[in-house]
Amino acid sequence: MILLADDEPAFQRLTGAWLRGLGHQVEVAGDGDAARAAFAAKPADLVLLDLAMPPHHDPEAGLALIPAFTPAPVVVMTGHADHALALKAIEAGAWDFLAKPVDPDLLRVVVARALERARLAREVATLKAQAGGDEDMGLVGTSPAMAALRALIRRVAPTRLPALVLGPSGTGKELVARAIHAASPRATRPLVPIHCGAVPAELLESELFGHLKGSFTGATTDRPGLIETANGGTLFLDEIGEMPAAMQVKLLRFLADGSYQPVGARAPRMADVRIVAATHRDLPAAVAEGSFREDLFYRLKGIVLRTPSLDERASDVPLLSSMFLRRTSEGRASFTPDALDWVAERRWPGNVRELRAAVECAAALAIPGAAGLMVGAADLAFAVGDLPSEPASSVFKTLDEEVAALERRRILEALGRTGHNHTHTARELGLSRVGLLKKMDRMGLR
C-alpha cells in the first residue's frame, strides 16, 4: 500500500489514479497529521510526501515528518527549483525525490525501486530473525537458566503481549528486550529504548508522546515522541520502576487502548507499539508501598521474564569471559590457563556487566609478550581492584608509567560501572566531561 500525502486535490486525484493504474493500493492524506495518523493505523510500504502541507506549509515541518514513517521508504515531492530542499530531505532519511509536476514515467520507476528496496529490507530482516532464532539470540550462555530464558523469548516474541523483564542489575535485561524485538514480526520496525529514570520527570511526557510547536517555551517545532518513532515496532521502557506517578497514569492509558496525546495537542493519536519494560527493582514491593500503580503493574506484566544473576549460572562465566576477550581484542588476546579458573571462582555481584568490564580492563592493561597478548589471573585481579599491586604482566619503569596505568584502570572501571556513560563517569572520577574525553583520547580509549 502506498500513502500519498499531498494537500492539492487535483494532484491527489491524478497521481492516485496513475498509481492505482499500476496496480497499487493508495491511501490519500491531505496534511501532516492525517498522514501520520494513516500510517499509524496501517503502516504503508511506501510514502510519497509533499513537504509543504497544511497546517504550516513549511518545508522544515515536512522534513521533520520523514522519520515518522520509518522504516517505509519516503519519496519527497518538491518544486522544480527546490534542489537544495530535496538534498536536505535525503539527509533527513528520504529515499528519493520527485520534482513537481511529476512525470508519470519517472513516478513509475521511482516507486518500483522504492518498493523493491522495502521488500528486500523486509526479507533481510526476516532471514536475520530466522538465523538468529536458532542461535543464542545475542544472549551468551549454555546454562539451563539461559536455555530456558531463550526458549521463553522465542514463545513470547511472535505475540503482541507486553513483556516485563525482571532481574538484578547487569544481567542482560536490555539484551532480552532486544532479542524479543529481533525475533518478533516487528523486527523490521524500530526498537526504541528509553531509560525512564534518566529523563527529568518534566521532560518525560514530551519525550514519550511528543509535542506541538508552541506548546511550551522552547518548543519551536512539532516534535514526534518516542511512541511515534516506535510505531509498528517495540518501545523498551528501561527502569520502569523509576517512572514518575503522573506519567504512570498516561502510560496506562496508552497500554489500555493505544491512544496518547502529544503535549499541546487537542486530540489523541493512536500508535501500534509493543511494550517491553524492565527493572531491577522489586515491583510488587513498590506496588505494596504505593510508589508504583497496581493497575499499571498488571498491564505491563503480560509475560514476566527473569534474567538470572551470574551466581545462578556460574557455569557460563568462562564462556562469557572468553567471548568478551575475543570481542575487545578482536581475537588477538587469549587467557592464560589460571585466568579462566580465577574468573570461575570469583563472585560477580555486578553480574555480566562487571565481568565484561573486568575482562576489557584487563585486556587493555595487559602488555604483549613473546606469546602475544596473554591476559592472566593477576591482570584480572588488578583490573577489578582485588590486588593492590601492579599487573603481573607489566613492570613499570617510571612513576609516570605507573600513574598512567592507574589512571587508565580507574577510567576503564568507572566506564564499565556506568555503562560507558561519559557524564556519569566524569562525575564519579571528579573530572569535567571534557577533561575525561581528552584523557580518553590521549589513551586511545574512544
Ligand X SMILES: Nc1ncnc2c1ncn2[C@@H]1O[C@H](COP(=O)(O)OP(=O)(O)OP(=O)(O)O)[C@@H](O)[C@H]1O
CB of 393: closest distance to ligand X in angstroms? 25
Which of residues 174 and 428 has its CB atom nearest to ligand X in the complex?
Answer: 174
Query: In sequence order, what E strands does 60-137 have?
Result: 74-79, 96-100
Contact map string, positions 114 to 153, toward ligand X, x by CB under 6 A: -------------------------xxx------------
Which of residues 2 and 414 has its CB atom nearest to ligand X in the complex?
Answer: 414
Which of residues 327 and 446 has its CB atom nearest to ligand X in the complex?
Answer: 327
CA atoms within 13 A on the CB side of 21: 10
Q: Any contact of residue 169 with ligand X (CB under 6 A)?
A: yes
CB of 328: closest distance to ligand X in angstroms? 11
Footprint (CB under 6 A) of ligand X, residues 376-405: none
Footprint (CB under 6 A) of ligand X, residues 316-375: 352-353, 356
Which of residues 36 and 150 has its CB atom nearest to ligand X in the complex?
Answer: 150
Question: Is residue 279 within 8 Å of 241, Cβ to Cβ?
Answer: yes
N-term to C-term CA, the chain: 44
Q: Please list the residues that pair with 4 across neighbouring strands.
A: 28, 48
Question: Is residue 360 within 8 Å of 412, Cβ to Cβ?
Answer: yes
Which of residues 174 and 272 has its CB atom nearest to ligand X in the complex?
Answer: 174
CB of 420: closest distance to ligand X in angstroms? 9
Interface stretch with ligand X, choices 51-59, 64-72, 171-179, 438-446 (CB under 6 A): 171-179
Label the pairing between strands 259-260 and 269-270.
antiparallel
DSSP tag of 369: B
Q: Any contact of residue 306 with ligand X (CB under 6 A)?
A: no
CB of 264: closest distance to ligand X in angstroms? 32
Which of residues 44 and 352 has its CB atom nearest to ligand X in the complex?
Answer: 352
Place of cell 504503508: 44
Q: Please list the residues that pair with 224 across neighbouring strands.
A: 210
**What burial letters (b/e) apply to 352-365, b meaning 16+ CB within 10 Å?**
bbbbbbbbbbbbbb
The residue with its CB nearest to ligand X is: 172
Question: Is residue 252 within 8 Å of 240, Cβ to Cβ?
Answer: no
Interface stretch with ligand X, choices 89-97, 173-181, 206-214, 360-368 (CB under 6 A): 173-181
- CA-closest candidate to residue 221, choices 74, 56, 75: 56
Interface stretch with ligand X, choices 25-33, 104-112, 169-177, 210-218 (CB under 6 A): 169-177
Task: At 402, list the grid cell.
Answer: 605507573
Which residues form the interface with ligand X (CB under 6 A)? Answer: 139-141, 167, 169-175, 238, 278, 280, 307, 352-353, 356
